[in-house]
Structure 1
Amino acid sequence: MLIYVCISSHGFGHAARQAAMLRELHALCPDWTLVISTMVDRCFLELVFRDLPVVLRPVQWDVGMLQADALGADPAATLKALQDLEDALPQRLDQEVAWISNQETPVLVIGDIPPVAAELAERLQAPLVWMGNFGWDDIYTPLGSAFEGWVRRAQECYQRGSLLLRCPFSLAMNWHLREISLTLVAAEPRSLPAAFEAELQKDSFPNVLVGFGGLGLGLEPSLFTRWPDHRFLLNRPRNPDLRKHLALINNVTLLPDDVRPLDVMPYCRRHLGKPGFSSFCEAMAADLGLHVVERQGFAEAETLMEGLRQHASHRILRREELESGCWGLDQPLQPPTHGRLASTGAIEAAKAVKRVAIDTVQRI
């Protein structure tokens, strides 16, 4: 059995939740071949899929929403990129159909959540499972008439499939498919290198994990010195000058390249970042307090913020508060209005994919 996963290249969260689900699927069906098809940064893929036998296929299936930075969208650039992608997709479909067919094994396609996954599945005569908390039709609809054609195209694709695995904090996704609602989708933390674990526990400073997704935000490094009684944990920035600058700040610790933010959450009290599906799931599963910066121009953000208010201890920041260092880390958190969510979504999704594969693929 070949499980071919089309993952959005829009951001890291889609790949992170698929890594959590596929790890559970591999445990259930260790002889199945898992294929990851995306243009998400390869270093990130190798980190989240580490120790999981996956085949990586570098293919861009969607555009999503191009962004100026972690908090700002760029609709005009998105429209141009959508047209460029449309011109390139026929060749990419031919290429991947040929590669998959040469594997000479039954196949199931998972879409998270590029619309063209529907065309790939139909070309292969394979069942299709969607997994996500929004579709690009939900994201493009508020952006006006220039996106109407892309909305219709996405809606038509999303209505073709065997099942929708609806993640928490979801938008409408009115696709008229059979659905299964999932709880939080999050992987388990890995153990830390002993020396790094000791560094995180060497004093009584509370650890604060800082994360703004793959784009980052470019916070002024001196802002961290406004909170000398807190230790801030950050991914290593790619910019060598910024990395060098951050390394000189006493209360900033850069994560080793082989450590995910998820892995240090058990050692943290709070998380400072933007609205993001996977970071919310992982932080809520670890029961962290979330300090979240409001985000404009992306429809998912409003639903994520409502989920934050309902299910996590939190503080909501304005962008100007973030950029001035007014992070409220010494202030009490707002309690959730509805209580915590379970964090069993990854195994729920894996079991559902297995059922579809056995009931559908193996009868073809």
Structure 2
Amino acid sequence: MLIYVCISSHGFGHAARQAAMLKQLHSLCPEWRLVISTMVDRRFLELAFRDIPVVLRPVQWDVGMLQADALGADPIATLEALQDLEHALPQRLDQEVAWISRQESPVLVIGDIPPVAAELAERLQAPLVWMGNFGWDDIYAPLGSAFEGWVRRARDCYQRGSLLLRCPFSLAMNWKLPETSLTLVAAEPRSIPSALEAELQQSPSPNVLVGFGGLGLGLEPSLFARWPDHRFLLNLPGNRDLRERLALISNVTLLPNGVRPLDVMPYCSRHLGKPGFSSFCEAMAADLGLHVVERQGFAEATTLMEGLRLHASHRILRREDLEAGRWALDQPLQPPAHGKLIATGAIEAAKAVQRVATDTVQQD
């Protein structure tokens, strides 16, 4: 059995939740071949899928929403990129159909959540499982008439498939498909280097994980010095000047290569970041307090913030508060309105994929 996963190149969260699900699927069906198809940064993929034997296929299936930074959307640039994608997709489909056919194996396609996965599955005569908390139809619909054609195309694709695995914090996704609702989808933390573990365990200050996704936000390093009674954990920034400036701040620890933010969550009490599906799932599973900066221009943010209020201990910040260093880390957290969620979504999704594959592919 070949499981071919089309992952959005929009951001890291889609790949992170597929890594969580596919690790469980590999445990259930270790003989199945797993293929990841995306243009998400390869270093992130190699880290996220390190424990799973996967084949990486560098293919861009969608555009998503282009962003000026971690908190700002760019609809005009997104439209231009969608037009470029339309010209490129036929050749990419031909290429991947040919490659998959050469594998001479039964196939199941998973879409998270590029619309064109529907066409790929149909050309392969393979079952299709969608997994996500939104579709690009939901994201583009509020952006006006220029996106109407893309909304229709995406919605038509999403209504073709065997099953929708609906993640928490979801938008409408009115696709007229059978559905399975999932709980939090999060991978398990891995062990960290002993020196880092000792540093975090022995820290006299609360540890605060800071993360704004793949784009980052480039916070002014001096802002961390405003909170001398807290230790901040950050991914290594790509910008060398920023990295060197952060290294000079005594209460900042840069995570070494090979350590995911998820891996240090057990040592933290709070998380400072933006609305993001996978970061929310991982932080909620680790029972962190979430300090979240409001985000505009992206429809998913609204439902994520609603989920935050309902299911996590939290503080909500404005962007100007973030950039001024007013992070409220010394303030009590707001309790969840409806209680916390469990984190069994990855195994629930894996079992659902196994059922579809067994019932539809292996019986043919």
- Where does 1:61-210 land on structure 2 (aligned, <5 Å)? 61-210=61-210
SS in 2 for 1:360: helix
Q: How far off its partner does 1:250 sit?
A: 0.2
Per-residue CA deviations over 1:60-90 (Å, capped at 9, x if unaligned) read 0000000000000000000000000000000
Per-residue CA deviations over 1:315-361 (Å, capped at 9, x if unaligned) read 00000000000000000000000000010000000000000000001
Q: How far off its partner does 1:117 sit?
A: 0.1
Which residue of structure 2 lines up, in the alignment, with residue 220 of structure 1? 220
Normalising by structure 1, report the TM-score. 1.00
Which residue of structure 1 lines up, in the alignment, with residue 242 of structure 2? 242
1:239 maps to a residue whose letter is: N
2:94 maps to a residue whose letter is: D
Matched, 1:325 2:300: no
Q: How far off its partner does 1:204 sit?
A: 1.6
Matched, 1:60 2:55: no
Q: What count of residue pairs does the alignment treat as equivalent? A: 364
Please list every run of 5 or more consecutive structure 1 residues that lacks an aligned counterpart in the other structure: none
2:169 maps to a residue whose letter is: F
Which residue of structure 2 lines up, in the alignment, with residue 48 of structure 1? 48
1:320 maps to a residue whose letter is: E
The answer to whether the 8 Å contact 2:291/2:317 transfers is yes
Which residue of structure 2 lines up, in the alignment, with residue 278 of structure 1? 278
Alpha carbon RMSD of aligned pairs, Å?
0.4
1:242 maps to a residue whose letter is: L
Which residue of structure 2 lines up, in the alignment, with residue 20 of structure 1? 20
Normalising by structure 2, report the TM-score. 1.00
Which residue of structure 1 lines up, in the alignment, with residue 35 of structure 2? 35
Distance 2:247 2:363 in 1: 57
Per-residue CA deviations over 1:286-320 (Å, capped at 9, x if unaligned) read 00000000000000000000000000000000000
2:145 maps to a residue whose letter is: S
Percent sequence identity over matched residues? Answer: 86
Distance 1:311 1:93 in 2: 40
Which residue of structure 2 lines up, in the alignment, with residue 348 of structure 1? 348
Per-residue CA deviations over 1:218-262 (Å, capped at 9, x if unaligned) read 100000000001000000001111111101100000001100000
SS in 1 for 2:202: coil
SS in 2 for 1:14: helix
Per-residue CA deviations over 1:17-48 (Å, capped at 9, x if unaligned) read 00000000000000100000000000000000
Q: How far off its partner does 1:363 sit?
A: 1.5
Distance 2:204 2:231 in 1: 10
Distance 1:316 1:202 in 2: 29
1:275 maps to a residue whose letter is: P
The runs of at least 4 consecutive aligned structure 1 residues that moved more than 2 Å come to none
Distance 1:314 1:51 in 2: 32
Distance 1:32 1:362 in 2: 12
1:302 maps to a residue whose letter is: T
Q: How far off its partner does 1:202 sit?
A: 2.3
Q: How far off its partner does 1:51 sit?
A: 2.1
Please list every run of 5 or more consecutive structure 2 residues that lacks an aligned counterpart in the other structure: none
Q: How far off its partner does 1:203 sit?
A: 2.6
Distance 2:203 2:218 in 1: 28
Distance 1:302 1:56 in 2: 33
Distance 2:293 2:31 in 1: 43
Per-residue CA deviations over 1:109-151 (Å, capped at 9, x if unaligned) read 0000000000000000000000000000000000000000000
2:354 maps to a residue whose letter is: K
SS in 2 for 1:275: coil
Per-residue CA deviations over 1:172-229 (Å, capped at 9, x if unaligned) read 0000000000000000000111111011122321000000000000100000000001
Per-residue CA deviations over 1:138-170 (Å, capped at 9, x if unaligned) read 000000000000000000000000000000000
Which residue of structure 2 lines up, in the alignment, with residue 307 of structure 1? 307
1:173 maps to a residue whose letter is: M
Distance 1:272 1:46 in 2: 25
Which residue of structure 1 lines up, in the alignment, with residue 8 of structure 2? 8
The answer to whether the 8 Å contact 2:23/2:51 transfers is no
1:329 maps to a residue whose letter is: L
1:316 maps to a residue whose letter is: I
Distance 1:102 1:93 in 2: 14
Distance 1:319 1:194 in 2: 36
1:49 maps to a residue whose letter is: F
SS in 1 for 2:362: helix
Which residue of structure 2 lines up, in the alignment, with residue 263 of structure 1? 263
